[in-house]
Structure 1
């Protein structure tokens, strides 16, 4: 097949490479000329995606994958178009369709009869049918579901392990109509591979959910579930703090029962998905009180962590505090909705002088993100915000001036922090030994 992938970001580029590795001719379209140049040169435009560099060089080298900034021209030469353009929402959950509208108009300009268009960007329920179908039809002069096929098929992968996740999970497809769904299922069966999953009660592979709306809701539901689950875990952790119980042991015990799947509590929920899609769901369903309460609970955790630090340290006015981790999760160079931003603000609100360090970012990169980089200044307290593997071996000897450490991710080794009070969200003092000068629980 001839395939166009629109937007060569951290999901779109691995998808384009995957399709090309299956033997198809793929053109990636992106408005960023630097990304286009990098891809055509076989260079990774961003770091951290397992196997991407090797696979990219391989598929570009043999001519199966090319890139262009001309979306309409790429679509005109393609039998299938996969759209992975970002959709942004504000704090109220209102979507900003600007980038996706522009991309959809460009797709419509090049759309030919018989083409399959698949949107993989997470969308509010109803968007494929009510927004994209009319826009594509108007711009192309073709009838959706008759002259061209339209499906929604959500991406279900994590950056850093996209190729593995593409094999691991069923691919969900929802069509505008039955014919669109059949074309969508056939397409994904030809471009993806799937691992055997004996734990599933249905075979792994491509699943037709019956409608575009069902597929849209499936993506929002599975991600919103995670946010609600984490919100519940954070509520348990905050209560555990008041009664001197280690919530980690409680959750571990609960999850030995097959109907309990409680997630881990922590300082923040970040990334492109978990903190964003519940707000998108609320845009569809504003009466979803459980979803709203969980989102509020998770959003309050950075300020709660700063409060734990103040309880153990004392007055933070003028105190230099190091925030360890700018990334939203360990091992990934990405700050989308990272907890680092509200953590820094919560520290400033208490009069502290915050600094940020991260093994994946240079001081100059942190400065460009609006974060105060740590350049070796003395600090007397620290908060772990990201669960980078490097933090497992840090200890008091690395930060001799630190009196109190708040570990927001349960990643540090208590044996290495004998020179400071170590505070863990949802853990009592006897489980986090320390010899510092603060009053850690």
Structure 2
């Protein structure tokens, strides 16, 4: 097949490489010329995705993958189009469709009869049918269901392990018509390979959920569940700390039977997914008070950790505080909705002099984010762990000359290595 993947980000580019690796001819379309240039050289535009560098290089070298900024032209040459353009929400929780609208118009201009269009970007329920269908029909002059097929098939992978996740998890699809769903099932069976999953009630592979709305809701449900679960863990953590209890022992004990799956508490919930998708769900279901309460609880965790540091240190006014970790999670060079931003802001409001360290970012990159860089080994009064980078696991009080207080927001440090300082951790009393 000839396939176009629209948007070569941290999900789109691995998808394009996966399709090419499965033997198909792939065009990657992106509005960023520098990304397109790097891809055409066989070079990954971002680090950290396992196997991407070698697979990308091979696909470009063998002529199975190329990139362009001309989306409509690429679509016009393709039998299938997969869309992975980012969608965000504003401060009020309203989806910002600007980038996706622009991409959909480009797709419509190039859309040919017989083409399959699959949106993988996480969407509010009803968006595929009520927004993308009329837009594509209007721009292309074609009719969905007869001239072309439109489906929703959510990406369900985690950056850093995309290729493994593509094999591990069922590929969900939902069409606007049975014929569209059948076409999407055939497509994904041709471009993906699946691991055996004896733990599932049905064989791993492409699962048709019966409608685009069901597939849209499935993605929102699985990610919103995580946000609500983490919020519950954070509530347990705060109560446990107030009562001299180690919440991690409690969680391990609770999860020792099969009906409990409590997640880990922590200083923040970041990334492109969990902070955003519950708000996409709430946009369609504003009465979901459990979801809105959980989102608020998680958003309040950075301030909670800063308050904990202030109490342990008897105030933060004029105190030099090192925040460890700009990334939203360990091992991933990504700051989308990272807890570093509200943590630094809360520390500054408390009067602290804030510096930031991250092994994945250069000093210049930290400065560009508005942070003053810090290097382990420099004198500092207080340390707050924001990301669970593996490089932090072996740190000790000796790593921070003059340190008086340490608050581990991710339970990555060894408390025994900090017996000479005041040490706090989320969920440990």
TM-score range relative to shorter protein: over 0.9
1:126 has 2:126 as partner: yes
- In 1, Cα distance between equivalents of 2:219 and 2:200: 18
Q: In structure 1, the residue corresponding to 2:423 is in which secondary structure?
A: strand
1:318-329 aligned at under 5 Å gives the runs 318-329=318-329
Provide, for residues 318-364 of structure 1, a one-character-per-residue CA deviation record: whole Å limited to 9, x for no partner.
00000000000000000000000000011111111111110001111
Provide, for residues 251-283 of structure 1, a one-character-per-residue CA deviation record: whole Å limited to 9, x for no partner.
000000100000000000000000110111111
Contact 1:80–1:115 at 8 Å: present in 2 too? yes
Contact 2:379–2:401 at 8 Å: present in 1 too? no
What does residue 392 of structure 1 align with?
A: 393
What does residue 439 of structure 1 align with?
A: none
Q: In structure 2, the residue corresponding to 1:322 is in which secondary structure?
A: strand
What does residue 294 of structure 2 align with?
A: 294
Structure 1 residue 44: Cα displacement: 0.6
Give the gaps of 5 or more residues in structure 1: 429-441
- In 2, Cα distance between equivalents of 1:85 and 1:213: 19
- In 1, Cα distance between equivalents of 2:101 and 2:31: 13
- In 1, Cα distance between equivalents of 2:278 and 2:370: 26
1:279-318 aligned at under 5 Å gives the runs 279-318=279-318
What does residue 102 of structure 2 align with?
A: 102
Structure 1 residue 404: Cα displacement: 0.7
What does residue 373 of structure 2 align with?
A: 373
What does residue 427 of structure 2 align with?
A: 426
1:76-91 aligned at under 5 Å gives the runs 76-91=76-91
- In 2, Cα distance between equivalents of 1:308 and 1:315: 10
Provide, for residues 379-437 of structure 1, a one-character-per-residue CA deviation record: whole Å limited to 9, x for no partner.
10010000000000011111021111000000001222122121111112xxxxxxxxx
What does residue 402 of structure 2 align with?
A: 401
What does residue 180 of structure 1 align with?
A: 180
1:228-377 aligned at under 5 Å gives the runs 228-374=228-374
- In 2, Cα distance between equivalents of 1:378 and 1:312: 19
- In 2, Cα distance between equivalents of 1:136 and 1:371: 43
- In 2, Cα distance between equivalents of 1:346 and 1:285: 31
- In 1, Cα distance between equivalents of 2:315 and 2:47: 40
Q: In structure 1, the residue corresponding to 2:113 is in which secondary structure?
A: coil
Provide, for residues 268-303 of structure 1, a one-character-per-residue CA deviation record: whole Å limited to 9, x for no partner.
000000011011111111110000110010000000
TM-score by length of 1: 0.96
Give the gaps of 5 or more residues in structure 2: none
1:58 has 2:61 as partner: no
- In 2, Cα distance between equivalents of 1:345 and 1:175: 44
Structure 1 residue 240: Cα displacement: 0.6
Structure 1 residue 88: Cα displacement: 1.2
TM-score by length of 2: 0.99
Contact 1:92–1:279 at 8 Å: present in 2 too? no
- In 2, Cα distance between equivalents of 1:172 and 1:91: 30
Change (3 A) 1:377 1:412: closer
Provide, for residues 168-208 of structure 1, a one-character-per-residue CA deviation record: whole Å limited to 9, x for no partner.
00000000111110000110000000000011111100000
1:32-71 aligned at under 5 Å gives the runs 32-71=32-71
1:145 has 2:167 as partner: no
Aligned residues: 428
4+ residue runs over 3 A deviation: none
- In 2, Cα distance between equivalents of 1:315 and 1:7: 46
What does residue 201 of structure 1 align with?
A: 201
What does residue 223 of structure 1 align with?
A: 223
1:382 has 2:355 as partner: no
Q: CA RMSD in A?
A: 0.8
- In 2, Cα distance between equivalents of 1:246 and 1:418: 17
